[in-house]
Chain A
Amino acid sequence: MSIENLKVNDPFADDVGDTQPKNYVHIRIQQRNGRKTLTTVQGLSKDFSPKALLKAFKKEYACNGTVIIDPDMGEVIQLQGDHRTKVMDFLTDKDKSKMGKYALQKDHIKIHGF
Chain B
Amino acid sequence: MAETEELVILPSAPKKAVTFDDEENVDATNTQEAAADEGDGLLDLKKKKKKSSAAVGSDGLLDLKKKKKKKVEAKAEDESTEDKKADGDAPSEEVAATSSEVQFDADELANGTGVWNSAATSDLTYPLLLSRFFTLLKSQHPDLTGDGRRNYKIPPPQVMREGNKKSIFANISDICKRMKRSDEHVTAFLFAELGTSGSVDGAKRLVIRGKFQQKQLENVLRRYILEYVTCRTCKSPDTDLKKGENRLFFVTCNSCGSRRSVAAIKTGFQATVGKRRRQKV
- Which residue of chain A lies nearest to B50 when distances are taken between CB atoms in the complex? A1
Chain B positions within 8 Å of A18 at CB level:
227, 261-263
CA separation between A18 and B270, bound complex, in Å? Answer: 22
CA separation between A72 and B243, bound complex, in Å? Answer: 25
* Distance of B142 from chain A, by nearest CB (Å): 11
CA separation between A4 and B273, bound complex, in Å? Answer: 43
Q: Evaluate contact between B195 and A32: CB separation under 8 angstroms.
A: no
The answer to whether the Cβ of A47 comes within 8 Å of any Cβ in the partner chain is no
The answer to whether the Cβ of B211 comes within 8 Å of any Cβ in the partner chain is yes
Q: Evaluate contact between A40 and B211: CB separation under 8 angstroms.
A: no
The answer to whether the Cβ of B240 comes within 8 Å of any Cβ in the partner chain is no
- Looking at the complex, which one of B32, B192, B260 makes contact with A112 (CB distance below 8 Å)? B192
Q: Evaluate contact between A26 and B149: CB separation under 8 angstroms.
A: no
At the interface, is chain A mostly helix, strand, loop or mixed? loop
CA separation between A68 and B276, bound complex, in Å? Answer: 14
- Looking at the complex, which one of A5, A14, A19, A113 makes contact with B263 (CB distance below 8 Å)? A19
- CB proximity to A under 8 Å, residues B205-244: 210-212, 215-217, 219-220, 227, 232-235
Q: Evaluate contact between B149 and A11: CB separation under 8 angstroms.
A: no
- Looking at the complex, which one of B143, B165, B270 makes contact with A5 (CB distance below 8 Å)? B143
CA separation between A2 and B269, bound complex, in Å? Answer: 39
The answer to whether the Cβ of A45 comes within 8 Å of any Cβ in the partner chain is no
Q: Evaluate contact between A78 and B149: CB separation under 8 angstroms.
A: no
CA separation between A18 and B263, bound complex, in Å? Answer: 6
Chain A positions within 8 Å of B195 at CB level:
28-31, 40, 112-113
The answer to whether the Cβ of B25 comes within 8 Å of any Cβ in the partner chain is yes
- Which residue of chain B lies nearest to A30 when distances are taken between CB atoms in the complex? B195
Extra inter-chain contacts (11) besides given A17-B261, A31-B211, A73-B269, CB under 8 Å: A1-B145, A1-B146, A14-B260, A19-B248, A31-B196, A68-B269, A72-B269, A76-B269, A78-B271, A114-B193, A114-B220
- CB proximity to B under 8 Å, residues A29-50: 29-33, 38, 40, 42
28 contacts between A and B (CB under 8 A): A2-B28, A2-B146, A3-B146, A5-B143, A5-B235, A6-B144, A14-B260, A15-B260, A17-B262, A18-B262, A19-B263, A26-B269, A28-B269, A29-B195, A30-B270, A30-B273, A31-B210, A33-B165, A38-B273, A40-B269, A42-B269, A76-B269, A112-B193, A112-B268, A113-B195, A114-B194, A114-B217, A114-B220
The answer to whether the Cβ of A70 comes within 8 Å of any Cβ in the partner chain is yes
CA separation between A43 and B223, bound complex, in Å? Answer: 21
Chain A positions within 8 Å of B274 at CB level:
32-33
Q: Mark A70-114, 1 if CB is under 8 A from B, else 0.
A: 101100101000000000000000000000000000000000111
The answer to whether the Cβ of B199 comes within 8 Å of any Cβ in the partner chain is no
- Looking at the complex, which one of A9, A14, A21, A38 makes contact with B271 (CB distance below 8 Å)? A38
* Distance of B147 from chain A, by nearest CB (Å): 9
- Which residue of chain A lies nearest to B218 when distances are taken between CB atoms in the complex? A114
- Which residue of chain A lies nearest to B259 when distances are taken between CB atoms in the complex? A15
The answer to whether the Cβ of B29 comes within 8 Å of any Cβ in the partner chain is yes
Chain A positions within 8 Å of B269 at CB level:
26, 28, 40, 42, 68, 70, 72-73, 76
